[in-house]
């Protein structure tokens, strides 16, 4: 074969192939990082099957309200404590902000937790906590988020590559991070739901025969290169190249095409980035993608609180209600865990600027349901001002432990981190008792 005729040419071709492979993998959005980083490590997810417990949840949809959503203006309104009114929900005795009327009608399908708290009032540290169940540690920077852990637990290695962990909307910090589990469980990120798949079409748009010849040539060059340059990096790059090709050729790519939904359903979710992202999340759950995170930002309302929240709720209420309604009416909610959370709440007292609320980790609210959990429960309550929980609250770590347990993982179990040390999924925490049976 021509590969053996000229070793100098062979080396150049092999190097070109290797670089082309990097471009393909990067362009496909598979979350690769540079040599010397996590890409050089093999996955440390092998022991995760030991942590698996029975669960009906095949998928998890995590809605992350980034910035710290005001609980007193949304899920835990109090009389006279804000600019908005209140509306009855479909859970007996529970009222929500009158800016969430459609969500209020669908609330009976899930549960509301009104007694969350932590000590983390910094955005980065609080977001790290709600995504991992761990406080941020300066000396250990490759911890996985819970999305990666759940994706690894539900991964089927016998199937061709398709992302098990998909993030939509904003991204940063711990969002989408595979950490020591390996880049295989970094998230596939969709920044724009109108263009969810970019750079997957081969240059020049070759026909099938030409595409096959190119792929075969790349494969032969890579095999020769790997035989001469034996290292963990080349093996991992080969695996990621194979994954990229599997993804490009997958018959499941149509799941990203929200335009396949009826016009009526698309109108119901709305013509906004949030609405389209939640519609795509529904389709991904239908395709049994293990973990889907949708981040909606803008909730850091230190000023102009009323106007900002009016706009945000206007973009969130209808599509979130549509998501719950569609999952519930189709029966898919029984096998899809839906979680709605923020890194902390906002101060019940309006700040000194006259129209804002500041960070408030002492109390906030979240929603959780589906995936075989009971529905219609109210967990905890706050005092008359929504300043702090009454009685025993639910620490942010306990809530992460609840998510793990509902998704089918033992939160007390451990994985070995990149330093070879056992890392408990959620230390010093226990799932909410009402949701941890079995």
Q: Model confidence at 2, in pLDDT bands (50, 70, 90)?
A: very low
Is-contact 322 278, C-beta < 8 A?
yes
Whether the Cβ atoms of residue 380 and residue 413 lie closer than 8 Å to each other: no
Tell which wins on pLDDT, 18 or 397: 397
| pLDDT for 153 | 97
Q: How far apart are CA 368 and CA 149, in angstroms?
A: 19
Across residues 23-31, what is the average pLDDT? 45
Pairing of strands 291-296, 59-65: parallel
Tokens of 127: 């977001």
Q: Is the pLDDT of residue 9 over 50?
A: no
User: How buried is 431 (Cβ within 10 angstroms: 0-12 exposed, 13-18 middle, 19+ buried)?
Assistant: buried
Average pLDDT over every residue of 266-278: 98
Domains of the chain from N-terminus onward: 42-198+253-286+290-435 (3.40.720)
Which 8-state DSSP code applies to residue 226?
A: H
Computed from CA positions of residues 76, 80, 82, 85, in that sequence, does the dihedral angle turn out positive or negative? Answer: positive
For residues 182 and 165, the answer to whether their CB atoms sit within 8 Å is: no
User: What pLDDT, in 10s, does the model give residues 169-214?
Assistant: 988 889 999 999 988 899 999 988 988 887 666 666 667 777 777 7
Task: Give the DSSP H or E segment for 281.
Answer: helix 273-286
C-alpha distances out from residue 313 to 91, 193, 216, 249, 419, Å: 20, 19, 51, 39, 44
Whether residue 36 is predicted with pLDDT greater than 50 in this model: the reply is: no
Phi, psi (deg, nearest 5) at residue 116: -70, 150
User: What is the rounded CA–CA span in Å between residue 54 and residue 293?
Assistant: 22
Strand partners, 395: 117
Alpha carbon 213 to its chain centroid, in Å, reads 37
Distance from C-alpha of 149 to C-alpha of 425, rounded to nearest angstrom: 9
**What letter does residue 59 receive in the DSSP assignment?**
E
């Amino acid at each position: 074969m021509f590969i053996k005729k000229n070793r100098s040419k062979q080396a150049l071709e092999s190097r070109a192939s290797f670089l082309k492979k990097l471009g393909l993998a990067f362009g496909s959005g598979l979350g690769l990082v540079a040599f010397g980083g996590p890409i050089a490590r093999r996955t440390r997810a092998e022991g995760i099957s030991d942590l698996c417990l029975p669960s009906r949840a095949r998928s998890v949809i995590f809605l992350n309200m980034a910035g710290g959503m005001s609980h007193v203006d949304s899920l835990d309104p109090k009389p006279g404590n804000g600019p908005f009114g209140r509306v009855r929900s479909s859970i007996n005795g529970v009222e929500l902000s009158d800016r969430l009327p459609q969500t209020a009608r669908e609330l009976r399908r899930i549960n509301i937790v009104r007694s969350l708290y932590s000590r983390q009032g910094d955005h980065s540290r609080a977001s790290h906590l709600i995504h991992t169940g761990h406080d941020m540690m300066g000396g250990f920077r490759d911890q996985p988020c819970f999305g990666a852990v759940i994706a690894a637990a539900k991964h089927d290695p016998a199937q061709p590559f398709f992302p098990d962990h998909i993030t939509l909307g904003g991204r940063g910090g711990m969002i989408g991070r595979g950490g020591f589990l390996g880049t295989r469980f970094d998230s596939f990120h969709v920044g724009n739901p109108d263009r969810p798949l970019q750079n997957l079409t081969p240059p020049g748009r070759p026909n099938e025969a030409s595409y096959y010849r190119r792929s075969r040539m790349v494969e032969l060059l890579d095999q020769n290169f790997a035989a001469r340059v034996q290292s963990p990096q080349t093996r991992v790059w080969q695996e990621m190249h194979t994954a990229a090709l599997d993804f490009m050729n997958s018959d499941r790519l149509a799941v990203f095409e929200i335009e396949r939904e009826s016009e009526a359903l698309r109108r119901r979710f709305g013509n906004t980035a949030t609405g389209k992202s939640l519609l795509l999340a529904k389709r991904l759950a239908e395709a049994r993608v293990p973990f889907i995170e949708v981040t909606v930002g803008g909730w850091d309302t230190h000023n102009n609180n009323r106007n900002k929240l009016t706009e945000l709720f206007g973009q969130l209420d209808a599509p979130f209600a549509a998501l719950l309604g569609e999952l519930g009416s189709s029966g898919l909610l029984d096998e899809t865990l839906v979680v709605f959370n923020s890194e902390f709440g906002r101060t019940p007292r309006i700040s000194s600027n006259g129209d804002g609320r500041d960070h408030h980790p002492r109390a906030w609210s979240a929603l959780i349901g589906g995936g075989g959990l009971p529905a219609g429960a109210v967990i905890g309550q706050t005092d008359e001002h929504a300043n702090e929980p009454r009685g025993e609250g639910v620490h942010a770590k306990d809530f992460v432990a609840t998510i793990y347990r509902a998704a089918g993982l033992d939160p007390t179990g451990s994985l070995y981190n990149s330093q070879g040390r056992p890392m408990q999924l959620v230390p010093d925490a226990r799932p909410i008792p009402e949701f941890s049976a079995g």
